[in-house]
Structure 1
Amino acid sequence: ESKGECYTDRWYEKKNMQIKDNHQYMGRKRMLRKNKTLIFKYFLNLINGAFLVLGLLLMGFGAWLLLDRNNFFTALDENNHLIGYIFRILIGTGSASVLLCLLGYLGIHNEIRWLLILYAVLLMWAFGVQVVLSALIFTKKEEVHQIWHDKIDSVISEYGSKDLPEDIPKWTILNALQKRCCGQKNYTDWMKNKNKENSEQVPCSCTNSTLRKWFCDEPLNATYLEVNGCENKINTWYHTNALTLIGINFGLLASEVLQFSLTVSFFRHIKNRIYAEK
Protein backbone atom coordinates (compact mmCIF):
# COMPACT_ATOMS: atom_id res chain seq x y z
CA GLU A 1 0.00 0.00 0.00
CA SER A 2 2.83 2.32 0.84
CA LYS A 3 4.28 1.71 -2.62
CA GLY A 4 0.88 2.34 -4.22
CA GLU A 5 0.46 5.56 -2.29
CA CYS A 6 3.98 6.61 -3.29
CA TYR A 7 3.22 6.01 -6.97
CA THR A 8 -0.07 7.87 -6.65
CA ASP A 9 1.62 10.83 -4.99
CA ARG A 10 4.26 10.93 -7.71
CA TRP A 11 1.59 10.75 -10.39
CA TYR A 12 -0.35 13.65 -8.84
CA GLU A 13 2.86 15.61 -8.38
CA LYS A 14 3.83 15.00 -11.99
CA LYS A 15 0.33 15.93 -13.14
CA ASN A 16 0.40 19.15 -11.11
CA MET A 17 3.79 20.01 -12.60
CA GLN A 18 2.40 19.46 -16.12
CA ILE A 19 -0.64 21.65 -15.36
CA LYS A 20 1.63 24.32 -13.89
CA ASP A 21 3.95 24.17 -16.92
CA ASN A 22 0.95 24.35 -19.22
CA HIS A 23 -0.38 27.43 -17.40
CA GLN A 24 3.05 29.06 -17.60
CA TYR A 25 3.28 28.22 -21.32
CA MET A 26 -0.19 29.64 -21.98
CA GLY A 27 0.69 32.71 -19.92
CA ARG A 28 3.84 33.25 -21.98
CA LYS A 29 1.85 32.89 -25.21
CA ARG A 30 -0.71 35.42 -23.99
CA MET A 31 2.12 37.78 -23.05
CA LEU A 32 3.73 37.35 -26.48
CA ARG A 33 0.41 38.03 -28.21
CA LYS A 34 -0.13 41.10 -26.04
CA ASN A 35 3.39 42.38 -26.80
CA LYS A 36 2.86 41.74 -30.51
CA THR A 37 -0.42 43.69 -30.35
CA LEU A 38 1.34 46.63 -28.66
CA ILE A 39 4.12 46.59 -31.28
CA PHE A 40 1.56 46.57 -34.10
CA LYS A 41 -0.35 49.46 -32.52
CA TYR A 42 2.84 51.46 -31.99
CA PHE A 43 3.94 51.28 -35.63
CA LEU A 44 0.41 51.71 -37.00
CA ASN A 45 -0.11 54.86 -34.91
CA LEU A 46 3.36 56.12 -35.86
CA ILE A 47 2.70 55.83 -39.60
CA ASN A 48 -0.87 57.06 -39.11
CA GLY A 49 0.56 60.16 -37.39
CA ALA A 50 2.91 60.80 -40.32
CA PHE A 51 -0.05 60.29 -42.68
CA LEU A 52 -2.06 62.84 -40.68
CA VAL A 53 0.74 65.44 -40.81
CA LEU A 54 1.16 64.99 -44.58
CA GLY A 55 -2.61 65.27 -45.09
CA LEU A 56 -2.71 68.51 -43.09
CA LEU A 57 0.25 69.85 -45.10
CA LEU A 58 -1.49 69.05 -48.38
CA MET A 59 -4.74 70.64 -47.19
CA GLY A 60 -2.92 73.72 -45.87
CA PHE A 61 -0.86 74.03 -49.05
CA GLY A 62 -3.97 74.04 -51.24
CA ALA A 63 -5.87 76.41 -48.92
CA TRP A 64 -2.96 78.88 -48.79
CA LEU A 65 -2.59 79.04 -52.57
CA LEU A 66 -6.35 79.25 -53.15
CA LEU A 67 -7.28 81.81 -50.48
CA ASP A 68 -4.22 84.06 -50.15
CA ARG A 69 -5.07 87.06 -52.31
CA ASN A 70 -1.59 88.51 -51.73
CA ASN A 71 -0.07 85.55 -53.51
CA PHE A 72 0.99 86.46 -57.07
CA PHE A 73 0.27 82.93 -58.31
CA THR A 74 -3.33 83.11 -57.01
CA ALA A 75 -3.87 86.75 -58.02
CA LEU A 76 -3.09 85.93 -61.65
CA ASP A 77 -5.74 83.22 -61.81
CA GLU A 78 -8.70 85.57 -61.53
CA ASN A 79 -11.06 83.15 -63.30
CA ASN A 80 -10.06 80.20 -61.06
CA HIS A 81 -9.97 77.68 -63.91
CA LEU A 82 -7.19 75.08 -64.10
CA ILE A 83 -5.12 76.42 -61.19
CA GLY A 84 -8.20 76.81 -58.97
CA TYR A 85 -9.34 73.25 -59.72
CA ILE A 86 -5.93 71.84 -58.80
CA PHE A 87 -5.94 73.74 -55.49
CA ARG A 88 -9.43 72.44 -54.66
CA ILE A 89 -8.33 68.89 -55.43
CA LEU A 90 -5.40 69.37 -53.03
CA ILE A 91 -7.72 70.62 -50.26
CA GLY A 92 -10.17 67.76 -50.85
CA THR A 93 -7.43 65.12 -50.87
CA GLY A 94 -5.81 66.54 -47.74
CA SER A 95 -9.17 66.67 -45.91
CA ALA A 96 -9.96 63.07 -46.90
CA SER A 97 -6.53 61.97 -45.63
CA VAL A 98 -7.17 63.62 -42.24
CA LEU A 99 -10.59 61.94 -41.89
CA LEU A 100 -9.08 58.62 -42.94
CA CYS A 101 -6.43 58.96 -40.23
CA LEU A 102 -9.10 59.51 -37.57
CA LEU A 103 -11.02 56.45 -38.81
CA GLY A 104 -7.82 54.39 -38.70
CA TYR A 105 -7.04 55.53 -35.17
CA LEU A 106 -10.47 54.36 -33.93
CA GLY A 107 -10.07 50.97 -35.61
CA ILE A 108 -6.51 50.46 -34.34
CA HIS A 109 -7.08 51.67 -30.79
CA ASN A 110 -10.34 49.75 -30.23
CA GLU A 111 -9.31 46.72 -32.35
CA ILE A 112 -12.57 46.81 -34.33
CA ARG A 113 -12.13 44.34 -37.17
CA TRP A 114 -14.81 45.67 -39.55
CA LEU A 115 -13.41 49.18 -39.09
CA LEU A 116 -9.91 47.91 -39.92
CA ILE A 117 -11.26 46.30 -43.12
CA LEU A 118 -12.98 49.58 -44.07
CA TYR A 119 -9.77 51.48 -43.28
CA ALA A 120 -7.70 49.16 -45.51
CA VAL A 121 -10.19 49.51 -48.40
CA LEU A 122 -10.22 53.31 -48.09
CA LEU A 123 -6.41 53.35 -47.98
CA MET A 124 -6.35 51.60 -51.35
CA TRP A 125 -8.91 54.09 -52.68
CA ALA A 126 -6.76 56.97 -51.37
CA PHE A 127 -3.70 55.39 -53.01
CA GLY A 128 -5.49 55.39 -56.37
CA VAL A 129 -6.50 59.04 -55.94
CA GLN A 130 -2.90 59.97 -55.04
CA VAL A 131 -1.58 58.20 -58.16
CA VAL A 132 -4.05 60.17 -60.33
CA LEU A 133 -3.11 63.40 -58.52
CA SER A 134 0.61 62.72 -59.03
CA ALA A 135 0.00 62.11 -62.75
CA LEU A 136 -2.04 65.34 -62.93
CA ILE A 137 0.74 67.34 -61.27
CA PHE A 138 3.37 65.94 -63.64
CA THR A 139 1.31 66.40 -66.81
CA LYS A 140 -0.05 69.85 -65.94
CA LYS A 141 3.09 71.28 -64.31
CA GLU A 142 4.48 72.82 -67.51
CA GLU A 143 1.02 73.89 -68.71
CA VAL A 144 0.40 75.77 -65.46
CA HIS A 145 3.88 77.31 -65.69
CA GLN A 146 3.18 78.52 -69.25
CA ILE A 147 -0.21 79.95 -68.22
CA TRP A 148 1.50 81.80 -65.39
CA HIS A 149 4.22 83.08 -67.77
CA ASP A 150 1.63 84.41 -70.23
CA LYS A 151 -0.42 86.07 -67.49
CA ILE A 152 2.65 87.91 -66.16
CA ASP A 153 3.22 89.29 -69.68
CA SER A 154 -0.44 90.38 -69.72
CA VAL A 155 -0.09 92.11 -66.33
CA ILE A 156 3.02 93.96 -67.56
CA SER A 157 1.13 95.14 -70.68
CA GLU A 158 -1.90 96.36 -68.69
CA TYR A 159 0.04 97.73 -65.70
CA GLY A 160 -1.03 101.25 -64.70
CA SER A 161 -4.17 101.34 -66.89
CA LYS A 162 -6.80 103.77 -65.62
CA ASP A 163 -9.49 101.56 -67.19
CA LEU A 164 -8.61 98.52 -65.04
CA PRO A 165 -8.78 99.60 -61.37
CA GLU A 166 -9.75 96.03 -60.41
CA ASP A 167 -6.22 94.92 -61.41
CA ILE A 168 -4.51 97.17 -58.85
CA PRO A 169 -3.90 94.22 -56.43
CA LYS A 170 -1.98 92.43 -59.22
CA TRP A 171 0.15 95.48 -59.91
CA THR A 172 0.87 95.93 -56.21
CA ILE A 173 2.03 92.31 -55.93
CA LEU A 174 4.11 92.74 -59.11
CA ASN A 175 5.79 95.79 -57.55
CA ALA A 176 6.61 93.72 -54.47
CA LEU A 177 8.06 91.02 -56.74
CA GLN A 178 10.21 93.55 -58.60
CA LYS A 179 12.70 94.07 -55.82
CA ARG A 180 16.18 93.57 -57.27
CA CYS A 181 14.69 92.64 -60.67
CA CYS A 182 12.60 94.27 -63.39
CA GLY A 183 10.21 92.75 -65.91
CA GLN A 184 9.96 89.05 -66.63
CA LYS A 185 13.01 88.53 -68.85
CA ASN A 186 14.56 91.98 -68.29
CA TYR A 187 13.64 95.66 -68.02
CA THR A 188 12.94 95.90 -71.80
CA ASP A 189 9.68 93.98 -71.22
CA TRP A 190 8.23 97.30 -70.07
CA MET A 191 8.63 98.80 -73.55
CA LYS A 192 5.42 97.01 -74.59
CA ASN A 193 3.40 98.74 -71.87
CA LYS A 194 0.99 101.24 -73.47
CA ASN A 195 0.01 103.13 -70.31
CA LYS A 196 3.27 105.08 -69.87
CA GLU A 197 3.34 108.79 -70.52
CA ASN A 198 6.61 108.41 -72.43
CA SER A 199 8.88 105.57 -73.57
CA GLU A 200 11.52 106.34 -70.91
CA GLN A 201 9.22 105.56 -68.01
CA VAL A 202 9.52 102.34 -65.99
CA PRO A 203 7.71 101.15 -62.85
CA CYS A 204 9.06 102.88 -59.76
CA SER A 205 9.60 99.42 -58.24
CA CYS A 206 12.34 98.85 -60.87
CA THR A 207 14.31 101.77 -59.44
CA ASN A 208 15.48 102.95 -56.04
CA SER A 209 12.71 105.56 -56.03
CA THR A 210 10.45 105.87 -52.97
CA LEU A 211 7.65 107.61 -54.91
CA ARG A 212 4.20 106.04 -54.48
CA LYS A 213 3.10 105.94 -58.11
CA TRP A 214 3.07 103.41 -60.93
CA PHE A 215 5.73 104.90 -63.24
CA CYS A 216 8.89 106.93 -62.71
CA ASP A 217 10.78 109.00 -65.29
CA GLU A 218 14.04 107.06 -65.22
CA PRO A 219 16.23 106.52 -68.31
CA LEU A 220 16.37 102.84 -69.30
CA ASN A 221 20.18 102.94 -69.11
CA ALA A 222 20.26 104.46 -65.60
CA THR A 223 22.77 102.82 -63.23
CA TYR A 224 20.20 102.64 -60.42
CA LEU A 225 17.71 100.72 -62.58
CA GLU A 226 17.31 96.98 -61.92
CA VAL A 227 18.10 95.53 -65.36
CA ASN A 228 17.82 91.80 -64.61
CA GLY A 229 14.47 90.10 -65.14
CA CYS A 230 12.42 88.36 -62.44
CA GLU A 231 12.10 85.12 -64.41
CA ASN A 232 14.70 83.25 -62.34
CA LYS A 233 13.06 84.38 -59.10
CA ILE A 234 9.63 83.35 -60.41
CA ASN A 235 10.87 79.97 -61.69
CA THR A 236 12.65 79.25 -58.41
CA TRP A 237 9.49 79.99 -56.43
CA TYR A 238 7.35 77.90 -58.78
CA HIS A 239 9.64 74.85 -58.93
CA THR A 240 10.28 74.92 -55.17
CA ASN A 241 6.55 74.80 -54.47
CA ALA A 242 5.95 72.18 -57.18
CA LEU A 243 8.68 69.94 -55.73
CA THR A 244 7.28 70.45 -52.22
CA LEU A 245 3.86 69.38 -53.46
CA ILE A 246 5.30 66.33 -55.24
CA GLY A 247 7.29 65.42 -52.11
CA ILE A 248 4.15 65.57 -49.92
CA ASN A 249 2.27 63.48 -52.48
CA PHE A 250 4.93 60.75 -52.63
CA GLY A 251 5.16 60.79 -48.83
CA LEU A 252 1.42 60.09 -48.69
CA LEU A 253 1.77 57.28 -51.24
CA ALA A 254 4.55 55.60 -49.24
CA SER A 255 2.66 55.93 -45.94
CA GLU A 256 -0.51 54.50 -47.53
CA VAL A 257 1.32 51.39 -48.76
CA LEU A 258 2.98 50.82 -45.37
CA GLN A 259 -0.24 51.47 -43.48
CA PHE A 260 -2.21 49.08 -45.69
CA SER A 261 0.35 46.27 -45.19
CA LEU A 262 0.45 46.76 -41.42
CA THR A 263 -3.35 47.04 -41.15
CA VAL A 264 -3.85 43.71 -42.97
CA SER A 265 -1.22 42.04 -40.74
CA PHE A 266 -2.82 43.55 -37.62
CA PHE A 267 -6.26 42.31 -38.68
CA ARG A 268 -4.90 38.76 -39.11
CA HIS A 269 -3.15 38.97 -35.74
CA ILE A 270 -6.39 40.00 -33.97
CA LYS A 271 -8.32 37.23 -35.76
CA ASN A 272 -5.76 34.56 -34.74
CA ARG A 273 -5.67 35.87 -31.17
CA ILE A 274 -9.46 35.65 -30.83
CA TYR A 275 -9.45 32.04 -32.10
CA ALA A 276 -6.58 31.13 -29.75
CA GLU A 277 -8.41 32.54 -26.73
CA LYS A 278 -11.64 30.59 -27.40
Structure 2
Amino acid sequence: MKAEDKVQILKFFLMVFNGVFVILGLAIFGCGVWILFDKSSFIVTLSGGSSMKTVAAGLFVIGLVVFGVSCIGYVGAYKEIRFLIMLYMGFLIVIVLGQLFVTFVLLIKRKEITNFLIEEVDQIIVTYGTMGNGSSEHWRVLDAVQHYSNCCGRNGSTQWENNTFISSLPDGEDVYPCSCFNGSCPFLPNDTSLMFGKGSSIYQKGCQESIEVWLSENGLAILGMDAGLVLIQILQFVLSLYLIQNIRRKAKQKRLLNNQEDNSAVNDGYEHLD
Protein backbone atom coordinates (compact mmCIF):
# COMPACT_ATOMS: atom_id res chain seq x y z
CA MET A 1 0.00 0.00 0.00
CA LYS A 2 1.28 3.45 -0.91
CA ALA A 3 2.21 5.85 1.87
CA GLU A 4 -0.39 8.34 0.59
CA ASP A 5 -3.16 5.76 0.98
CA LYS A 6 -1.98 4.91 4.49
CA VAL A 7 -1.97 8.60 5.39
CA GLN A 8 -5.60 9.00 4.28
CA ILE A 9 -6.71 5.94 6.28
CA LEU A 10 -4.82 7.07 9.41
CA LYS A 11 -6.24 10.61 9.09
CA PHE A 12 -9.78 9.20 8.92
CA PHE A 13 -9.41 7.02 12.02
CA LEU A 14 -7.55 9.74 13.95
CA MET A 15 -10.37 12.21 13.28
CA VAL A 16 -12.99 9.63 14.33
CA PHE A 17 -11.21 8.96 17.63
CA ASN A 18 -10.63 12.69 18.03
CA GLY A 19 -14.40 13.21 17.77
CA VAL A 20 -15.00 10.66 20.55
CA PHE A 21 -12.21 12.41 22.48
CA VAL A 22 -14.09 15.71 22.23
CA ILE A 23 -17.37 14.15 23.43
CA LEU A 24 -15.73 12.52 26.47
CA GLY A 25 -13.80 15.71 27.19
CA LEU A 26 -16.99 17.76 27.18
CA ALA A 27 -18.60 15.19 29.49
CA ILE A 28 -15.72 15.53 31.96
CA PHE A 29 -15.89 19.32 31.63
CA GLY A 30 -19.61 19.08 32.43
CA CYS A 31 -18.83 17.01 35.56
CA GLY A 32 -16.43 19.71 36.74
CA VAL A 33 -19.00 22.46 36.15
CA TRP A 34 -21.69 20.41 37.90
CA ILE A 35 -19.57 19.82 41.00
CA LEU A 36 -18.45 23.46 41.21
CA PHE A 37 -21.66 25.32 40.40
CA ASP A 38 -24.77 23.14 40.69
CA LYS A 39 -26.68 24.34 43.74
CA SER A 40 -29.44 21.75 43.44
CA SER A 41 -27.10 18.80 44.01
CA PHE A 42 -26.13 17.35 47.35
CA ILE A 43 -22.48 17.82 46.37
CA VAL A 44 -22.97 21.50 47.35
CA THR A 45 -22.40 20.43 50.93
CA LEU A 46 -18.80 19.69 50.00
CA SER A 47 -18.17 23.28 48.98
CA GLY A 48 -15.80 23.72 51.89
CA GLY A 49 -13.77 20.62 51.04
CA SER A 50 -10.46 21.44 49.36
CA SER A 51 -10.09 17.87 48.07
CA MET A 52 -13.38 17.96 46.18
CA LYS A 53 -12.57 21.42 44.84
CA THR A 54 -9.26 20.07 43.55
CA VAL A 55 -11.05 17.21 41.79
CA ALA A 56 -13.69 19.54 40.31
CA ALA A 57 -11.13 22.09 39.15
CA GLY A 58 -9.04 19.30 37.62
CA LEU A 59 -12.03 17.95 35.67
CA PHE A 60 -12.97 21.49 34.59
CA VAL A 61 -9.47 22.27 33.25
CA ILE A 62 -9.03 18.85 31.62
CA GLY A 63 -12.31 19.29 29.74
CA LEU A 64 -11.24 22.68 28.37
CA VAL A 65 -7.76 21.45 27.46
CA VAL A 66 -9.22 18.39 25.68
CA PHE A 67 -11.28 20.66 23.41
CA GLY A 68 -8.30 22.87 22.57
CA VAL A 69 -5.99 19.90 21.96
CA SER A 70 -8.60 18.28 19.71
CA CYS A 71 -8.62 21.38 17.51
CA ILE A 72 -4.83 21.15 17.17
CA GLY A 73 -5.17 17.46 16.28
CA TYR A 74 -7.79 18.14 13.61
CA VAL A 75 -5.75 20.89 11.95
CA GLY A 76 -2.50 18.91 12.14
CA ALA A 77 -4.06 15.76 10.65
CA TYR A 78 -6.07 17.54 7.97
CA LYS A 79 -3.16 19.73 6.82
CA GLU A 80 -0.60 16.95 7.44
CA ILE A 81 1.56 19.30 9.55
CA ARG A 82 4.00 17.13 11.51
CA PHE A 83 4.83 19.85 14.05
CA LEU A 84 1.16 20.22 15.07
CA ILE A 85 0.73 16.46 15.28
CA MET A 86 3.80 16.17 17.53
CA LEU A 87 2.47 19.06 19.65
CA TYR A 88 -0.85 17.21 19.80
CA MET A 89 0.92 14.05 21.03
CA GLY A 90 2.74 16.05 23.70
CA PHE A 91 -0.53 17.49 24.97
CA LEU A 92 -2.03 14.00 25.07
CA ILE A 93 0.74 12.93 27.45
CA VAL A 94 0.11 15.98 29.66
CA ILE A 95 -3.64 15.32 29.75
CA VAL A 96 -3.10 11.67 30.72
CA LEU A 97 -0.86 12.77 33.59
CA GLY A 98 -3.51 15.29 34.69
CA GLN A 99 -6.21 12.63 34.60
CA LEU A 100 -4.09 10.24 36.63
CA PHE A 101 -3.55 12.98 39.23
CA VAL A 102 -7.29 13.73 39.51
CA THR A 103 -8.11 10.02 39.70
CA PHE A 104 -5.45 9.52 42.35
CA VAL A 105 -6.87 12.36 44.48
CA LEU A 106 -10.41 11.03 44.04
CA LEU A 107 -9.44 7.52 45.13
CA ILE A 108 -7.12 8.51 47.98
CA LYS A 109 -9.48 11.16 49.38
CA ARG A 110 -12.66 9.14 48.92
CA LYS A 111 -13.00 8.24 52.58
CA GLU A 112 -12.12 11.77 53.64
CA ILE A 113 -14.77 13.19 51.30
CA THR A 114 -17.39 10.79 52.68
CA ASN A 115 -16.52 11.71 56.29
CA PHE A 116 -16.63 15.40 55.48
CA LEU A 117 -20.04 14.97 53.89
CA ILE A 118 -21.33 13.14 56.98
CA GLU A 119 -20.13 15.98 59.22
CA GLU A 120 -21.82 18.53 56.96
CA VAL A 121 -25.11 16.62 57.01
CA ASP A 122 -25.03 16.48 60.82
CA GLN A 123 -24.41 20.22 60.96
CA ILE A 124 -27.25 20.92 58.52
CA ILE A 125 -29.61 18.85 60.68
CA VAL A 126 -28.66 20.91 63.75
CA THR A 127 -29.20 24.28 62.02
CA TYR A 128 -32.14 23.27 59.82
CA GLY A 129 -35.01 25.75 60.04
CA THR A 130 -33.07 28.22 62.18
CA MET A 131 -34.08 31.73 61.22
CA GLY A 132 -31.23 33.86 59.92
CA ASN A 133 -28.95 30.86 59.38
CA GLY A 134 -28.74 31.59 55.66
CA SER A 135 -28.43 27.94 54.60
CA SER A 136 -31.85 27.50 52.98
CA GLU A 137 -30.23 26.01 49.87
CA HIS A 138 -28.68 23.26 51.99
CA TRP A 139 -32.04 22.64 53.66
CA ARG A 140 -33.83 22.22 50.32
CA VAL A 141 -31.21 19.71 49.18
CA LEU A 142 -31.55 17.74 52.43
CA ASP A 143 -35.35 17.80 52.05
CA ALA A 144 -34.97 16.39 48.53
CA VAL A 145 -32.71 13.59 49.77
CA GLN A 146 -35.11 12.63 52.57
CA HIS A 147 -38.20 12.84 50.37
CA TYR A 148 -36.92 10.92 47.34
CA SER A 149 -34.86 8.38 49.31
CA ASN A 150 -37.66 7.76 51.85
CA CYS A 151 -35.34 8.38 54.79
CA CYS A 152 -35.17 10.68 57.80
CA GLY A 153 -31.98 12.02 59.37
CA ARG A 154 -28.53 10.70 58.56
CA ASN A 155 -28.59 7.74 60.94
CA GLY A 156 -32.28 7.76 61.83
CA SER A 157 -35.21 9.98 62.74
CA THR A 158 -34.05 10.35 66.37
CA GLN A 159 -31.17 12.49 65.16
CA TRP A 160 -33.62 15.35 64.64
CA GLU A 161 -33.78 15.71 68.42
CA ASN A 162 -30.47 17.60 68.03
CA ASN A 163 -32.12 20.24 65.84
CA THR A 164 -31.95 23.71 67.39
CA PHE A 165 -35.52 24.67 66.49
CA ILE A 166 -37.09 21.38 67.61
CA SER A 167 -35.16 21.29 70.90
CA SER A 168 -36.33 24.85 71.66
CA LEU A 169 -40.03 23.88 71.48
CA PRO A 170 -41.80 23.27 74.81
CA ASP A 171 -43.23 20.08 73.35
CA GLY A 172 -40.78 19.02 70.65
CA GLU A 173 -41.60 15.33 70.74
CA ASP A 174 -42.60 13.82 67.37
CA VAL A 175 -41.66 17.04 65.52
CA TYR A 176 -39.80 16.50 62.26
CA PRO A 177 -39.21 18.26 58.93
CA CYS A 178 -42.07 17.77 56.49
CA SER A 179 -39.74 15.81 54.18
CA CYS A 180 -39.57 13.06 56.85
CA PHE A 181 -43.29 12.28 56.66
CA ASN A 182 -44.42 9.46 54.38
CA GLY A 183 -47.71 11.21 53.67
CA SER A 184 -49.08 14.74 53.89
CA CYS A 185 -47.29 16.92 56.42
CA PRO A 186 -49.20 17.69 59.66
CA PHE A 187 -47.87 21.26 59.92
CA LEU A 188 -47.18 22.85 63.29
CA PRO A 189 -49.87 25.45 64.13
CA ASN A 190 -47.44 28.31 64.79
CA ASP A 191 -44.79 27.44 62.21
CA THR A 192 -45.03 30.13 59.52
CA SER A 193 -42.14 28.58 57.59
CA LEU A 194 -44.20 25.41 56.93
CA MET A 195 -41.03 23.34 57.28
CA PHE A 196 -41.98 21.20 60.28
CA GLY A 197 -44.80 18.87 61.17
CA LYS A 198 -45.82 16.78 64.17
CA GLY A 199 -46.74 13.12 63.97
CA SER A 200 -45.44 9.56 63.91
CA SER A 201 -45.96 8.66 60.23
CA ILE A 202 -42.34 9.20 59.27
CA TYR A 203 -39.58 7.29 57.50
CA GLN A 204 -37.55 5.30 60.00
CA LYS A 205 -34.54 4.58 57.79
CA GLY A 206 -31.52 6.89 57.94
CA CYS A 207 -30.15 8.59 54.82
CA GLN A 208 -26.48 7.63 55.18
CA GLU A 209 -26.79 4.56 52.94
CA SER A 210 -28.50 6.61 50.21
CA ILE A 211 -25.81 9.28 50.43
CA GLU A 212 -23.00 6.72 50.17
CA VAL A 213 -24.69 5.02 47.20
CA TRP A 214 -25.07 8.41 45.52
CA LEU A 215 -21.39 9.19 46.03
CA SER A 216 -20.34 5.74 44.82
CA GLU A 217 -22.45 5.89 41.64
CA ASN A 218 -21.28 9.36 40.67
CA GLY A 219 -17.67 8.53 41.52
CA LEU A 220 -17.81 5.41 39.34
CA ALA A 221 -19.33 7.43 36.50
CA ILE A 222 -16.46 9.92 36.66
CA LEU A 223 -13.85 7.15 36.84
CA GLY A 224 -15.52 5.35 33.92
CA MET A 225 -15.34 8.43 31.71
CA ASP A 226 -11.76 8.95 32.83
CA ALA A 227 -10.78 5.38 31.90
CA GLY A 228 -12.51 5.69 28.53
CA LEU A 229 -10.68 8.92 27.83
CA VAL A 230 -7.31 7.35 28.65
CA LEU A 231 -8.01 4.44 26.28
CA ILE A 232 -8.98 6.83 23.49
CA GLN A 233 -5.83 8.88 24.11
CA ILE A 234 -3.60 5.80 23.81
CA LEU A 235 -5.20 4.97 20.45
CA GLN A 236 -4.82 8.59 19.34
CA PHE A 237 -1.16 8.62 20.32
CA VAL A 238 -0.45 5.42 18.35
CA LEU A 239 -2.36 6.65 15.30
CA SER A 240 -0.57 10.02 15.45
CA LEU A 241 2.80 8.28 15.62
CA TYR A 242 2.02 6.15 12.56
CA LEU A 243 0.61 9.19 10.76
CA ILE A 244 3.84 11.16 11.28
CA GLN A 245 5.89 8.22 9.97
CA ASN A 246 3.73 7.86 6.87
CA ILE A 247 3.63 11.61 6.20
CA ARG A 248 7.43 11.53 6.27
CA ARG A 249 7.44 8.48 3.97
CA LYS A 250 4.92 10.16 1.66
CA ALA A 251 7.11 13.28 1.43
CA LYS A 252 10.16 11.12 0.70
CA GLN A 253 8.34 9.21 -2.05
CA LYS A 254 7.16 12.49 -3.53
CA ARG A 255 10.72 13.83 -3.61
CA LEU A 256 11.98 10.63 -5.28
CA LEU A 257 9.19 10.86 -7.86
CA ASN A 258 10.04 14.50 -8.58
CA ASN A 259 13.72 13.63 -8.94
CA GLN A 260 12.86 10.84 -11.35
CA GLU A 261 10.71 13.19 -13.40
CA ASP A 262 13.52 15.79 -13.44
CA ASN A 263 16.06 13.17 -14.52
CA SER A 264 13.67 11.91 -17.18
CA ALA A 265 13.22 15.46 -18.49
CA VAL A 266 16.99 15.98 -18.62
CA ASN A 267 17.50 12.67 -20.45
CA ASP A 268 14.80 13.59 -22.95
CA GLY A 269 16.66 16.84 -23.58
CA TYR A 270 19.92 15.04 -24.28
CA GLU A 271 18.20 12.58 -26.64
CA HIS A 272 16.79 15.52 -28.58
CA LEU A 273 20.31 16.91 -29.00
CA ASP A 274 21.52 13.55 -30.24
User: Is TM (by shorter chain) over 0.5?
Assistant: yes
Segments of 5+ residues of structure 2 without an aligned counterpart are 188-192, 256-274
1:86/1:104 Cα in 2 relative to 1: closer, same or farther (>3 Å)? Answer: same
Instruction: Indicate whether 1:178 and 2:163 are aligned.
Output: no
Amino acid at match of 1:102: C
Amino acid at match of 2:165: N
Percent identity, please. Answer: 27
Higher mean C-alpha displacement, 133-142 vs 264-273:
133-142
Q: Is the 8 A contact 2:4 2:250 kept in 1?
A: no
Q: d(CA) in 1 for partners of 2:54 and 2:106? A: 12
> By how many angstroms is 1:78 displaced?
4.3
Q: Is the 8 A contact 2:10 2:239 kept in 1?
A: yes
Q: d(CA) in 1 for partners of 2:163 and 2:154? A: 13
| TM-superposition CA deviations, 1:229-272 (whole Å, max 9, x none) | 12222112111110011111111111111111110111000001
1:262 pairs with 235, 239, 245, which one?
239
Secondary structure in 2 matching 1:161? coil
Instruction: Indicate whether 1:205 and 2:200 are aligned.
Output: no
1:168 pairs with 132, 136, 140, which one?
136
In the TM superposition, what are the counterparts of 1:39-58 in structure 2 within 5 Å? 39-58=9-28
Secondary structure in 2 matching 1:178? helix
Which residue matches 1:15?
A: none
Larger-Rg structure? 1
Instruction: Indicate whether 1:236 and 2:248 are aligned.
Output: no
Q: d(CA) in 2 for partners of 1:98 and 1:141? A: 28
Segments of 5+ residues of structure 1 without an aligned counterpart are 1-28
Instruction: Indicate whether 1:60 and 2:37 are aligned.
Output: no
Which residue matches 2:106?
A: 137
Aligned-pair Cα RMSD in Å: 1.6
Q: d(CA) in 1 for partners of 2:9 and 2:233? A: 19
> By how many angstroms is 1:209 displaced?
2.7
In the TM superposition, what are the counterparts of 1:45-124 in structure 2 within 5 Å? 45-74=15-44, 76-79=45-48, 81-124=50-93
Q: Is the 8 A contact 2:32 2:56 kept in 1?
A: yes
Secondary structure in 1 matching 2:165? coil
